[in-house]
Structure 1
């Protein structure tokens, strides 16, 4: 609070830049390092998205402590702190892992009363339903949750598990929507997670070709994303110098990444080109707004002034969007290598 008050009273540009940078750096580093340390000592099995572990378990391989209560605690606390630090870390994988752990703990509890749940096949059914509920709680999409649970199993998916997965996903989606209603004072009823409105003629036939090109481009960049991430992870594991850092001073890598990320996203520095001063929830709301960013402010379809200011720092809106996409494309790769 002392530093923030100094920042507000600072008249000198250099002093203002230095103080805001220190506050930004300290906040990012403290929150993320707390997440890393908590996960490291409480449940190191919680490191990563959790989806590869679930695929392995559903194929019949036992992973020690992967579905334990300690891992659940580490996953929940670590994820909350990691997202709160501002890093571009997704929730889908961790939610799938959390849903599966909860399903496993429930089945172990019920096993004391109903011996049928001691069957290994029944445990797999519970885990598949947990995966579906995890995705449903992420996007409030029960059908997507069921489809994803089918995708996770990859090898086979028993027909009898369809209704179980859909029931778990529907319950998870309903609870998620109700909790969002009661925790957000602006909501008066249960609504879609991201509301959209489309005109009777939402697009023109000529635009279908552009949509196809966008899908092709996103597919290619997604494949490149996975390749770059794989090469980076292999480098961190095989490089002799990085091995020494991870084995003897494992906290050094998160510190370096936090300092790098905080420097790039500092709002007064480079961060003004990638909307570093706002959280991702605000960014997503901007993307889903029913208005035209590039329209003249006098036109009715133009966005509000705050959106225009937020996305046109020193350049045009299109230039800043390009920098935003490229910047967070690579920052997401780096962030996903952190041990949280």
Structure 2
């Protein structure tokens, strides 16, 4: 009836407004498309009698059309579908903006506070040294300060060992989709946050040759994780991609709030942490980065009681009106190439030292472990104190604040020319190039960027002018981190935008030279040596396929099943989508159903049949048991230590790891893992049920009845013959931690991130 009326109505309309029929020309097509954009959907709906058989359909369609009332770009991923209503849409957008601004509001003052405390410790060392005129006493005070605070930082880091290092390498792995609770336990814990801050203060305040940018990235990532656990923002953490985008924005805040460089901060976070970057995350990262930079400037104004800090560059420079000639560009490129060669030597040294320390920590000999944990840091602290004191006052500074001396055209101070400026400017980069690999591979919070910046600046000043020092600083930092954005950060912190060409030429030449020798960045080198799982650096055998690593013991439910089996699946895959098959024989995969819908279905079934203890059976409340070993205690063991994950929930990767491996200890090496044995687990689950409840729980039900459960299509499946190279690409780009394996539509198993990581081999330069 509706189609006949619509067809008659179309004949009465102009050609470009008809919904059916042949389109005669491009002009008519454009007119018809424009009419769809501007006309109301309900204009095309005919008024029918309220009691007709088609009225329910039309009323439902009108309601659906009215709900889809708005279409706009969303902060959470490109062009979004129309929201149900404007109020809900704008509330979500404002909440997202408030979250991103809050990151900057926290990051700016927090970074300033850490930097201020570090500077106070360094000033304390200078004050103590100036109390005596004896050169030997001054040396012992200087070195003793370094040793004491290095050991304090080392002791603090033992509270949360995952706080050691920069944190950038780990964030790079996490942003590819791995579960931090499974592979980096405790990475997002509050204890790690406190340890990271205190350890960073001690390592920088001790005078070690380390930076702070990586630690700020880790600190802001932990802050983001805990803000997402607040009830007001917890909705943003319901999906993996949403959490990853916000963590990427936190990385940008960590850098921008350190240097007050929002553009460079965003680009730097993209280059050093992202493998594939979603352009929809660009706006979020800039909102957080700009707010962090603004808050840092405001904090500087309030702390220094001067408004000059809010407008001037972080690092003061002084160049003339025409600082360089175009004919000098080859000289800048030559300098960049030389710094690239120096960086290669430094990274090779870093890899050797880090590998030796890793082998010593894993040694079966107690004396080797004691040596690397306590004696080695003592030697490094003494060495660092000696090499930063003995050469002269010019080597005393390990912070970026005093670099303005190298970036001015005026003569160098007496401390730099006591013997010869060539001696000074040659020794300083050599010291930093040697001490940086030694210091950043200690089990303490460390960073990379500032020491490379200082060493590159000193080497660049050998090339006559202060401008070469600025270009050298950017080139050495760019070659070490493999990030072109270092040039952008350099321009932002100095405010010398007219120097874009020489600085970028030097940075690109340094990066190109280091790339010729197939060397990775400092962050990637530490990531490979530490053994942190990282998909992009894995290689696979050409003939290896998904069938070789498939996990055949898969959690699933059938379309017609029992409530007891639904409970079993909900406990095995808590807060995850559960695959639904047609029946146990055909195993045809129909799709997935969310655990939320299944819990709603179970609660409705309990209420309809007057069954009790639904929350206890669902695991929402503790379940008492007369025996010491029960279903509740078993699930508590499997789900233990959930705080360190991305949102407090177990990932599919972690769940299958617990179900198929750790649980085997309960009954030895059984053919079927204990937690995947349906008969034994159902018997344990039904312990304490009455006969009536047991009978009801074993009755067959259809999960789609009552519209409580909606079977959603699976976004992606692979076959058992899919090569592991293709699976690797899918996991890397989509940031997924599992994928179902099907053969002619039948579910065969699941491939998890853990299985993929264990099947690959790391390829890197030797």
Shorter-chain TM-score above 0.5: yes
Question: 1:136, 1:142 within 8 Å by CA — same for their partners in 2?
Answer: yes
What's 2:581 paired with? none
How far apart are residue 185 of structure 1 and its match?
Answer: 5.0
How far apart are residue 113 of structure 1 and its match?
Answer: 5.4
What's 1:143 paired with? 263
Q: 2:320 aligns to what SS in structure 1?
A: coil
Q: Distance in 2 between matches of 1:88 and 1:245?
A: 27
How far apart are residue 173 of structure 1 and its match?
Answer: 0.9
Q: Deviations over 1:238-264 (max 9, x none)?
A: 258897456335222211111122222
Question: 2:256, 2:262 within 8 Å by CA — same for their partners in 1?
Answer: yes
What's 2:394 paired with? 275
Distance 1:316 1:61, change over 3 A: same
Question: 1:72, 1:101 within 8 Å by CA — same for their partners in 2?
Answer: yes
How far apart are residue 225 of structure 1 and its match?
Answer: 1.7
Q: Distance in 2 between matches of 1:68 and 1:96?
A: 15
Distance 1:208 1:22, change over 3 A: same
Q: Distance in 2 between matches of 1:51 and 1:204?
A: 38
Q: Say yes or no: does 1:326 pair with 2:430.
A: yes
How far apart are residue 61 of structure 1 and its match?
Answer: 1.2
Equivalent of 2:185, from 60, 64, 75? 64
Equivalent of 2:317, from 189, 196, 216? 196
Q: Distance in 1 between matches of 2:166 and 2:439?
A: 12
Q: Distance in 2 between matches of 1:172 and 1:101?
A: 16
Q: Say yes or no: does 1:234 pair with 2:355.
A: yes
Distance 1:6 1:178, change over 3 A: closer
TM-score normalised by structure 2 residue count: 0.39
Question: 2:256, 2:265 within 8 Å by CA — same for their partners in 1?
Answer: yes
Equivalent of 1:27, from 139, 145, 157? 145
How far apart are residue 6 of structure 1 and its match?
Answer: 11
Alignment of 1:113-262 (within 5 A): 114-185=234-305, 188-190=308-310, 191-239=312-360, 244-245=366-367, 247-248=369-370, 250-262=373-385
Question: 1:308, 1:317 within 8 Å by CA — same for their partners in 2?
Answer: no
RMSD across aligned C-alpha pairs, in angstroms? 2.5
Q: Distance in 2 between matches of 1:6 and 1:207?
A: 43
Q: Deviations over 1:125-173 (max 9, x none)?
A: 1100001111101221111111122223433111210000011111111
Q: Distance in 1 between matches of 2:206 and 2:142?
A: 10
Q: Distance in 2 between matches of 1:6 and 1:248?
A: 32
How far apart are residue 222 of structure 1 and its match?
Answer: 2.1
Structure 2 regions of 5+ residues with no counterpart? 1-123, 445-766
Q: Distance in 2 between matches of 1:50 and 1:113?
A: 24
What's 1:52 paired with? 169
Q: 2:230 aligns to what SS in structure 1?
A: helix
Q: Deviations over 1:4-46 (max 9, x none)?
A: 8898566xxxxx23322221222111111111111112x2111
Q: 1:137 aligns to what SS in structure 2?
A: helix
Q: 1:251 aligns to what SS in structure 2?
A: helix
Q: 2:433 aligns to what SS in structure 1?
A: helix
Distance 1:228 1:243, change over 3 A: farther
Distance 1:78 1:207, change over 3 A: same
- Greater RCO, 1 or 2 (C-alpha within 8 Å, sep 6+): 1
Q: Deviations over 1:175-224 (max 9, x none)?
A: 11221222235663402211334322110122111111122222232233
Q: Distance in 2 between matches of 1:113 and 1:316?
A: 59
Q: 1:109 aligns to what SS in structure 2?
A: coil
Q: Distance in 1 between matches of 2:397 and 2:383?
A: 18
What's 2:414 paired with? 309
Task: Please say which structure displays the higher CA radius of gyration.
Answer: 2
Q: Distance in 2 between matches of 1:338 and 1:157?
A: 31
Q: Distance in 2 between matches of 1:262 and 1:31?
A: 12
Q: Distance in 1 between matches of 2:198 and 2:187?
A: 16
What's 2:136 paired with? 18
Q: Distance in 1 between matches of 2:189 and 2:169?
A: 16
Q: 1:194 aligns to what SS in structure 2?
A: coil
More strand by share: 2
Question: 1:146, 1:165 within 8 Å by CA — same for their partners in 2?
Answer: yes
Structure 1 regions of 5+ residues with no counterpart? 11-15, 294-306
More helix by share: 1
